Structure formats: structure tokens, C-alpha cells
Amino acid sequence: MRADANVGSFEDRLVEVIFLCFALSVLGHVAGFCALCVIQNHVSCALHASGRTLSPKDLVGNLRCISRNFQNASQEDAHEYMVNLLELMHKCCLPSGVPSESPSAYEKSFVHKIFGGHLRSQVKCQQCSFCSNKFDPFLDLSLEIFKAESLQKALANFTAAEWLDGGERQYNCQRCKQKVRTLRHVWLTNDFY
């Protein structure tokens, strides 16, 4: 027996994800529109399209449900659309009564588990060596691509240490109780809260 025999095919896993989307989509709809239902239907149609062109008409027809700022027949930012769609899918898959910005929402949301992560931001005081750590969930990262030749370089630039040592960028140390020179690091991490 092969070691990966119980893993299943890509199509089997995709069907499981679609079923999960459908099962979770009944938990929440926004103004009669369920982003998970629409994505499930679109993926299902794509699997049966056999190379034919597929129009995302249900997504386009409900732009205002995805974001009130979107309008039909106007140019919109693809990144903004993706962020709004992921946020809406995140909200749709949460159990009733769980606020979408709460720490437990990010732990329970399969959308966040698939597409998101956590940023660990650490600020270290150069006088007393006190370290302040902050963990923030994210569904996307805004990377500076004009300074990078590759994704790895863009991530390295994003997570590079930086000095906070003047003006508005100066940090107020919790231990020293004054504004001090600090070094700030950012990491992508699975450790949080």
C-alpha cells in the first residue's frame, strides 16, 4: 500500500472543500448574498466547464454586496476586491454571534486558516532590552514589489528590522516610561495569543 493512499485525489479534496463551503455557508449570509455559496457554485461550474469560458456573473452581479464602494462598469482594484471577498467569506463561515474581528473568529474561520496567518511584531528597547510583542491576524500582505526581484525578496524587505528612533516613529517603552530608540522586527508566524 502506498504511503499516500489515504490522502485522496485533488478532485476528492476539492469536493470536500466545496461541501465544507456549502455546509458552512448556511451559517451566515450578508443581505441575502452568501459569498461562500457563490464561490462554491463557481468552482463547481469550473470543474464541469471542460475548458469552456466561464463568466463570474454571480460575483460581478453582487459587487455591492462584496463592497459598497464597488460599482458595475467601473474600474476597481483587484487587490481590494480580493480582500473584500475574503473578508466576506470569513464572515459567512463564522458561527452566529461570533464577531468577525475577535481572536476566536480567526481560530474558527476556515477562510483564515487557508488564506491567512499572523504577524508577530516585536519592538525591543535599546536602553533596557524590554521586548513588546504584538500578534495581528491577516488575510493579505501589502508587499512593496518595486524594490524586489522576487517574492522572497519582497517578503525579506517586508520583514526586515527597522529602527524607530525619531519623531513620530519613536516608541514609548513600557518599562522605561519614556520615548526611546528601538528596533522593530516583523515575522510571519503560527504562534499567536
Alpha carbon 54 to chain centroid distance?
A: 26
Task: Please indicate, yes or no, if residue 94 is contained in any of the structural domains.
Answer: yes
CB-based contact 138:155 (threshold 8 Å): no
What is the per-residue pLDDT across 27-54, written as a single tens digit (0 to 9) for each? 445 556 788 888 888 888 888 887 788 8
Q: Are residues 99 and 40 in the same domain?
A: yes
Which amino acid is located at 68 in the chain? Answer: R
Q: Is the pLDDT of residue 136 over 50?
A: yes
Residue 55 is placed in which grid cell? 463568466
**Cβ–Cβ < 8 Å for 189, 134:** no
Let me know whether 132 and 42 are in one domain: no
pTM for the whole structure: 0.63
Whole-Å CA distances, 185 to 111, 125, 160: 27, 12, 7
18 pLDDT above the threshold of 70: no
Same domain, 92 and 149: no
| Alpha carbons 31 and 62: distance in angstroms, whole number | 10
Containing structural domain, residue 39? 10-114
